[in-house]
Amino acid sequence: MTPTPILSAFRQALGEAWAGGAGALLPVGFFAGAAMLVPFGIGHEAAQLREIGPGILWVALALSSLVTMERLFQADLEDGALDLWLQTDAPLSAIAAAKTLAHWLAAGLPLALITPLLGLMLQVPPEDVLPASAAYALGGLAFFFWGGVGAALTATVRRGGLLIALIALPLYVPTAIFGALALQSTASGLPPEALYLAASTLFALAVAPFAMAAALRLAAD
């Protein structure tokens, strides 16, 4: 097996993430906007924001991860890159995983990097900000891989953003639940829910690439 197609797909996805308008900045703007609107809708009392702030950030992160998913595999199907991948000896699952990882690095990792600022705005205790950022980065990786499954299944559908959301959002639920529970008890050390969050991410990394590969093979037929 030669790694050239995998590396090529990785580099291509990094470039595509910044193509078309705001590119990777669009999820960041959506994430920040959704989080900043919360105090206007529910009030600005510190105790209330501290209670629901982490959960609001998980919801905003899940929705933001879907913003650019529509173009993850669609262009590859249209320009024939998918057919070339199928003719190489590199596993299609590895190529799909490489593209999704590059997409997360360009559009998902920045979401985790701005969570400290947004967390402080939502009254998250300062000592919990860094553990929360790590949790959002870990959970966001799972979100992007499950979103990649939705993107692969809808690669042949024009304007399939809503369909991707319908497919991916139910898969987000375990990660969001474990992530929200983990952030409720970070002050008392590493909670068991943090291990469940890590396990849900590892499960996504193990299963989603094969699901994406199967969906892409169907799309190419």
- Give the model's pLDDT for residue 14: 81
Q: For residues 212 and 145, what is the distance between their CA atoms, to the nearest angstrom?
A: 9
Token pair 């262009």: residue: 75
**Computed over its alpha carbons, how large is the radius of gyration of the chain?**
18
Residue 154's domain spans which residues?
4-220
Token pair 């402080």: residue: 120
Please give the tally of structural domains in the chain.
1
Q: Which helix (H) or strand (E) holds 50?
A: helix 46-64
3-state helix, strand, coil in the chain (%, to 5): 80, 0, 20
Stated pTM of the model: 0.89
* Cα torsion 207, 208, 210, 214: sign: positive
- pLDDT (tens, 9 = 90+) of the chain, 221 residues, equals 566 778 888 888 887 777 655 566 788 888 888 888 877 777 667 777 777 778 888 888 998 888 888 878 888 887 778 888 888 888 889 999 999 999 898 888 888 888 888 888 877 777 777 878 888 899 999 999 999 999 999 888 877 788 889 999 999 999 998 888 887 755 555 667 788 999 999 999 999 999 999 999 888 87
Q: For residues 68 and 41, what is the distance between their CA atoms, to the nearest angstrom?
A: 26
The tokens describing 221, both together, are 């037929």
The tokens describing 24, both together, are 């990777």
